[in-house]
Structures are given as structure tokens and as C-alpha cells.
Structure 1
Amino acid sequence: MPEAIDLLIEARWIATVDSDTTLNNHAVAVHNERIVAVLPTREARARFAPARHVKLPGHILIPGLINLHTHAAMTLMRGIADDLPLMDWLQKHIWPIEGTHMSPQFVYDGTRLACAEMLKGGITCFNDMYFYPDAAASAASEFGMRATLGITTLEFPTPYASDAADYISKGLAVRQDWLGNPLIEFCLAPHAPYTVSDATFERILTLSEQLNLPIHCHIHETAQEIADSLQQHGQRPLQRLRKLGLLGPNLIGVHAVHLNDDDLELLATTSSNIAHCPTSNLKLASGFAPVAKMRQMGINVGFGTDGAASNNRLDMFAEMRLAALLAKGVSGNAQALPAGEVLRMATLDAARALGLADKIGSITPGKYADLCAVSLSPLETRPCFDPVSHIVNVAGREHITHVWVAGKCCVDNKTLPNHPQNDLESAVALWQNSLEFRQQP
């Protein structure tokens, strides 16, 4: 008698990512949120009796994409201060706006908008750094999305907290409230070496070791950041973090654009992780991260979109393609970052950075069924000789038709089931009116 399961997904191709082989005419069996089998379609039909059966004859099924660095709520500030260098952008526009408008409702609505965009773009998990993490957790949970939320820490006050100790205390309390939720994880998120003191970094390291939490921190984003660190501390930011003990497998360093050979060696020997944000790096004129060299040295790298205020899209397909092209151009090697490696960086390698590689990141029996179906049937994607190459070099988020998180369908035929669009559109319109008023001279 066939085995009863929750879901059977048949696809023309499956890229499991835990193997370099692309499977043809296979199926994924899902039960109780997890993948129970990956097998040829004919065998799957004989073995299983699914409650729901999805047939995707022109699709490639891939693991859900993982956005390794973003500021989700900043989606409400999309395009509000474009074409500016980083510090002007932050100090003259973003931080003043946050000082006026920051609230739990702002974070909730902004994160809901980000979740809608990310899910429709095949992103099933995001690593966030922002304020009011309880509001962000509520938004992600509402959409059924997986999230690792930062216990964001700065030395200066914002509407959310007064000082570093207050940021940490509030963040830990929110983490305690969400313990046990299978979709919500937390990390420690000191903003950057130039906004966090040695004493605070030392406390963050202690908490990371006690609670086994990743540390999510901007590093080496601009040349000015490094010059300032040399003047203030007598050493480069990564050297300072190494001295404080923060480099290691729990560190997710964001951007890592300006790296010399010693920096690269530090990252490699400590098994630190990097979140590469190519679009944001280019838009803010921060520079070109040496990703091909990082990979050659064995440094684990995933991709992030950064916030929509500095991108202006939460589009992992765009990041994958841009990262691959930049790596080839910067290194002078057309073989740098081949498509299969890029897809792995956007899935399994990002999961590894978050400490979640045993749960998500590949289409492997026993892992959660976080899956994304990409249609390669449209004329603009034909002919298709290598479907994995198509994911990086041809397809875009507009070709995603279905997304599942822990076996639950979160995108069905390009729509978000059970999420009234009018409610979200109304909330966004209200925030736009408020922010436009703030921007007027």
C-alpha cells in the first residue's frame, strides 16, 4: 500500500546542491515539514500517496534561497536617498529618518513588505540586522518565513534603546520570548567596529559562546573605515576583532570589500564567514570584494541583498548573477564562481554561516522542505542546456512560481496565499506619505 505523505513535488530538474549532479525527472516527498525522499518520479508515484501532488514539468526545483544580510524594515525607505556615498547616506538621511519614524509599527510593516518581496523572489530565510526584533519576528512568522534576527547593538541611542547594554538586554528578552519557534532564530548583531566599543564586543563574544549564537557584523566596507580604525586603534578592524577573539566560525562578516592579504589570511585561518553584498557595494561605491580569492582560500561566503534602501531590491537572483560576473571581471578568470558554486553559496553555504546547514540549504532527506520552483518554460529561458547555469545566468525572480517553507506553500502560482494585498498596500502608502513629509525642506 502506498505511503501517505503531505506533499509530492515532481519537477523536470532538481538541483539538490549537496551534490553536483542535476537530477532529471525526479520528485521530492515531504511529510511533517521535512523531506523524506528524493527519487525518480515513476518510483515516487508508486511509493507515495500524497495529500497534495504538484507537477512541475518545465521547472527546476532548488533549495530556498538564503539572504545572508539584510535590514528588512528598511524596505520602507526604498529609494529615499539614492546616489550618495555610505556615510553621507547614513548620517544625513537614514539615521535622521530613523530617529523620527522608528517604532515597532514601522519595523512590523517594513518587514512584512520585505517578506512579501523576498518570498516571491524565492528567498525562504533571511538574516536581519535592525531594531525592534519582536516586531520583525511577528512579521516573518505571519508570512511563514524563516528568519535569523539580530540583537542589534550600537553605542549611541536610538528610539529603540539608549546604549549598548540596553540594546543587548532588550534583544535577549525578545529571543527568550520566541524560544521554541521553529522558524525564528537569533544572532548577536554588533553594527560595526566603528560603532561598537571593545567592552561591548567582549560582552558579545561571551554571549555568543554561552548561547552558541552567530555574530553578524559589518566589516571593511569602506576604505575610510579602515583609515579611521588605524588612526583610532592603531590596527585594521579585522585585526582588532581578532585581538578581541571575535573571528571564528560564529562570525558573519558583512561586505568585506577592502581586504589585504593579511585580512584574507585571518578570515581563512579562523574559518570566519562572509556575507557578500555586491549590489549594495556598487551602489554605495564601496568597491569590489575579492570573492574569487576568498573562495580559493576556503573562506565560506554567502550572499546578502543588504537593505532595500541601499540596493534597491531584495533580489537574490540579481545578487547571484552580479556576484558571478564581478568575480570573473575582478579576478580576470572566466572560470571563477561557476554557476553550481554560486547556487551553493546562495543556499547551503549561507546555511552553514548561520549554523543551520543540518536543517536547510539543500534538498536532502531529513532537512526541512524549504524549496523554490523556477519555471524554465518561458521563451526567454529557452533553449536550456544546463538548468543550473540558467538559474544564475538567465532566470530571474519573475520565473519563480512556487515556494515552500517547512513544507508549507508560501507562494502558489506566483501569489501569496492567505495574505490580503490591500492591507499591506495601505500600510505602505501611509508610511510613504509620512516619509515624504519628513523629506520636504
Structure 2
Amino acid sequence: MPTLLIRNATIVPDPANPEAACLPGYSVLVEGETISAIVPDADAPTTADEVIEAHGRLLMPGNICAHTHFYGAFARGMAIPGPPPRDFPEILRRLWWALDKALSLEDVRLSALVCLADAIRHGTTTLIDHHASPNAIDGSLSVIAEAVETAGVRACLCYEVSDRDGRDKALAGIAENVRWIRESRQRGSTRLAGTFGLHAAMTLSDATLERAVAEAQSLGVGFHIHAAEGPADQEHSLATYGERVIERLHRLGVLGPQTIVAHAITIDAWEMGLLRETDTWVTHQPRSNMNNAVGVADIPTMLRGNMRVGLGNDGFAFDMFEEMKTAYLLHKVHRLDPRVMNGYEVMRLAYTNNAALAGRFFPRPIGRVAVGAFADLILLDYAPYTPLTAGNVPWHILFGIRGSHVTHTIVGGRVLMAERQLRTLDEAAIAAEARTRAPEVWQRFETFSRYT
């Protein structure tokens, strides 16, 4: 069993726990994938298969992204033909539903690699992805899985089933979820998992949802779906079904403790109650919500009710420290109250709740530096110029730490980046290949955007 020793670190074991004292001058021993000892440097072993000298750097849990889209990497810098989209439905039709059609399986692989390199560089070690490629459905999740395996991170994958491209592709999406869930179990990897993807309530008929629910129940899994991401989803549900989005999903059996509802912005008190009563997970993506001008989810109220709420990025850059900062600021200005969404509440989203959500898919604890937990760790060269204590860690993270401070990224005891040099991926080669392929993707995108 390979061993890794990290010496002379300042350990921040759990940023969300005000009782978890910071530990300067400590060492962490990793055996295989798991942390086996956390001891003062004087008590640390003298040898290991690999030794990292931390030189007093911060050692923290790797960050977790609870909702993302690897397939969107080629959108960066891409122009949308015509005038700017005026609302979220236009953004969907003219950007995302044209881009996903433009992707081949090779584009899917490369788009994932671009995102995974960004994640490693910024200390994001576990990702829950939500994929779409309507013209390259079959096998798409295995292609992403191979990219994940190469990169060395931890990921839960699914395919977003939708009726927007016709019945045959909806059925193909269902089949891809079923195939991948079975394959992920057969692989027996501790770094890959599967759940059942659904696009959004407004692009799914009752018949398709009933078919998906039957398949998911036979496999014992939940769902990963966008819901109430702005007014359009609610308006469609009320006009078409005479009920609100969350009520409809509940009626059809989609909600539950294994299901992730991304966004949940335009929900009312009764819908929030249903999400709470069913122990359904909600993920918050503040940067995306601001960019799409779809509103602000009532995350402070959800947290007050001890709902299961995590933090994702919806495909934005994989510096989760930036997502934390945005969550901290957005709710203050929205409520006109600087007391709203305090630092520990943000840490609760990003660390406590994200780790609990990841625990639904992976077999050992993630998201804290503790004996017995997966050794998913990051080192940062953040040098605070004020005291760093258990009682002020959140504000060092929110006002001081950035993804650019990450020097080492470790997943399951494997060093994926050391001294800011990626070990598992050739970042320059990936970027060069992406620059070559992007014009072809963009050309296909322009063709599809005329008909979407």
C-alpha cells in the first residue's frame, strides 16, 4: 500500500466547524487512499513512499462542486449570433441547446479534460457533473469517466434526459443513465459514481418522467435535475400541468434523499416544505444565477430550516473559493442586510453539506482532514498577516484565500498537482488541442443556433 507523508503543515481540519482548532506544525500520513494519522511533526514517521514538505502551508480539505457541466467548456469566448438573449429561455435556446448539439464524443472528452485541469489547479477534488450531448449520447458518460480517471479526481456522472430533441433521444438519454450506473458499479472505482440525470421539469413530459422514475427505482438511485431555475419553469408548469414545479416532481416520484435539485429559485413556501420533508438536496449556484438574471434562491431560509443545501458552480470556473465569496455577498445585497449569510453558513454549504452530499455517492468521508477520511487534500501558500484561529477561518477563506493559492492537489492519496505543476494532465497540450477544435465546434454551433 503506497504511503504519502505531508510534513510541517498548518492543518485546517474542517472550515465549517468553529471548534476545530487549526494545527500548526503537524504532519499527515496517508496510507493508500485514506488518512491514517494526524500527528505533531515530532511524532511523524521519518519515511514514506512520497514526502511533501509543506513549509507551514495551509492544509485543507479539497473543495467539492455539487453541480456542474463539463460539456460547456467551449462556450468560453464564443459569440452568440444576433442580439443578446433577453431572458433565460433565450439563453437556453440560443446558447446551451445549440452548443450541446454541436458536440461529438471527442469534443465531450476534450471539454471534460479542460474542466478537470481547471479543477485540479484550483483545488476542487470532487465534482457532481450533469452532461448533455444530444448528437453523441451513447457512451458519452464512459468517455467522461475515462477523462476523470486520467485526471485522478472524484466525480459522479449522469446524462440529462430531455424531450426537447424528440422521443428517441429522450429514450437514449434514459438508456445512457442506466448503462452508466451499471457500469460504474461494475468498475468498483472509489472515484467514479453515477446518478440519474434529468434536464428540467419544463423539458420533460409526465410520460418521460414516469419512465425515468421506473428505471431509477429499479436501480435504487435518485436524480439530478434543474428545477425552478427562474420564472419560465414555473410558468410552464402552471400553464401545462396546473401545478408548481416541485409539486409536480413530488407527484411523479422524483424527489427524495438521493435526488439533487439544482437552483430552486422560484419556489414558494409550500414547495420549500416539500423539499424539506422529502430530504431532497438543493444546490446553489450564485454566479450562474446572477449571470442568467434568474433571481436569488432563498438559501438563508433553507439553511434556517436545516434543509440539505450544497454549493455548485453550474459550469463556471472551478475555483470554488470564488463561488463561496459570491454566495457570501449576493444574499447580503439581495436582502439589504449585512447579517445575512454569515461566514459559517457559507462554510456549511461548501464543506459540511457538500461533503454529506458526496457521501451519498462515495464510500468514505470526504471534505475534512480526519483519520479514516479519503485523503482529498489541498495545500495553499496563503500566509495570513493576522491570527488564523478556529473562530475566524471562514473570513480568511472569504476575504483572503483564492484558488491561485493552491500549490498541491491530492485525491485519494495521489498527488495530482505539486508546486502548481499538474502531474496527471498535460495542461498546455489540452489547451492547444481545444484551441484547434473550438472553431469546428463553434461552426457547428452557429448552424444549430439558427434552428434551436
Give your verdict on TM over 0.5: yes
2:49 corresponds in structure 1 to 51
2:194 corresponds in structure 1 to 186
1:86 corresponds in structure 2 to 88
| Cα drift, residue 260 of structure 1 | 1.6
| Cα drift, residue 150 of structure 1 | 0.8
CA deviations 1:13-35 (Å, max 9, x no partner) are: 32335743132223322101101
Pair 1:383 & 2:381 matched = no
Pair 1:269 & 2:277 matched = yes
Work out whether residues 180 and 194 of structure 2, in 8 Å CA contact, stay in contact via their aligned partners in 1: no
1:123 corresponds in structure 2 to 124
Evaluate the alpha carbon distance shift between residue 414 and residue 181 of structure 1 in structure 2; reply closer, same or farther with a 3 A threshold. same
2:404 corresponds in structure 1 to 398
CA-atom RMSD in angstroms: 2.4
SS class of match (1:369) = coil
1:317 corresponds in structure 2 to 321
Identity %: 25
| Cα drift, residue 280 of structure 1 | 0.3
Work out whether residues 64 and 403 of structure 1, in 8 Å CA contact, stay in contact via their aligned partners in 2: yes
Match of 2:171 among 159, 165, 170: 165
| Cα drift, residue 393 of structure 1 | 2.3
Q: Distance in 1 between matches of 2:37 and 2:16?
A: 14
SS class of match (1:334) = coil
Match of 2:209 among 198, 201, 205: 201
| 1:283-362 equivalences in 2 (<5 Å) | 283-307=291-315, 311=316, 313-354=317-358, 355-356=360-361, 358-362=364-368
| 1:389-428 equivalences in 2 (<5 Å) | 389-428=395-434
Evaluate the alpha carbon distance shift between residue 9 and residue 77 of structure 1 in structure 2; reply closer, same or farther with a 3 A threshold. farther
| Cα drift, residue 214 of structure 1 | 3.3
Work out whether residues 64 and 350 of structure 2, in 8 Å CA contact, stay in contact via their aligned partners in 1: yes
Residue type of the alignment partner of 1:279? R
Match of 1:74 among 52, 72, 75: 72
Q: Distance in 2 between matches of 1:279 and 1:410?
A: 27
2:108 corresponds in structure 1 to 107
SS class of match (2:224) = strand
Work out whether residues 376 and 384 of structure 1, in 8 Å CA contact, stay in contact via their aligned partners in 2: no
Q: Distance in 2 between matches of 1:344 and 1:9?
A: 28
| Cα drift, residue 318 of structure 1 | 0.9
Work out whether residues 11 and 59 of structure 1, in 8 Å CA contact, stay in contact via their aligned partners in 2: yes
Return 5+ residue gaps in structure 1 as ranges: none
Q: Distance in 1 between matches of 2:442 and 2:211?
A: 39
Match of 2:100 among 92, 98, 101: 98
Return 5+ residue gaps in structure 2 as ranges: 133-139, 448-452
Question: Where has structure 1 moved over 4 Å in runs of 4 or more?
Answer: 438-441
Work out whether residues 290 and 330 of structure 1, in 8 Å CA contact, stay in contact via their aligned partners in 2: no
Q: Distance in 2 between matches of 1:405 and 1:88?
A: 39
CA deviations 1:107-144 (Å, max 9, x no partner) are: 00000000000111111011111131111111111100
Match of 1:367 among 352, 369, 373: 373
Evaluate the alpha carbon distance shift between residue 32 and residue 214 of structure 1 in structure 2; reply closer, same or farther with a 3 A threshold. same
Work out whether residues 34 and 366 of structure 1, in 8 Å CA contact, stay in contact via their aligned partners in 2: yes
1:212 corresponds in structure 2 to 220
| 1:186-265 equivalences in 2 (<5 Å) | 186-265=194-273
